Amino acid sequence: MKKARADKVQTGENDMRAEYDFSSGARGKHCRALQNGYTITVHNADGTTTVKDVMPKENAILLEPDVQAHFPDSESVNEALRCLIPLLSRKNRTGAKRR
């Protein structure tokens, strides 16, 4: 049986060290920059380098965190939006008749 390491905080499932402090961190700090695409550079053990340009998928839609909390997956988002489509088209038709 392995012994627990003394330098780790042993609180349930949390294996974070006590000296780690994320209180001043900014969530999503690089999110907007990543939407424009990014480059991954991998330095292999044999001395070669692999470079890969990553671009977001075309027509990708990003949800804000507060909205995302209500939708566990893409299917639920699509279902909710399909319910709104008839309401939007009705609203546009009534606006045209008033003019």
Average pLDDT on 63-69 reads 88
Give the HSE-up count for residue 3: Cα atoms under 13 Å, Cβ half-sphere.
Answer: 3
> Highest-confidence range of 60-64, 81-85, 93-97, by mean pLDDT?
81-85
pTM, rounded to two decimals:
0.40
The predicted pLDDT at position 18 comes to 83
The whole-angstrom separation of Cα 82 and Cα 80 is: 5
The predicted pLDDT at position 8 comes to 46
Q: Report yes or no: 71 and 63 within 8 Å, Cβ to Cβ.
A: yes
The better pLDDT of the pair 90, 9 is held by 90
Return the domain boundaries, the chain.
31-98
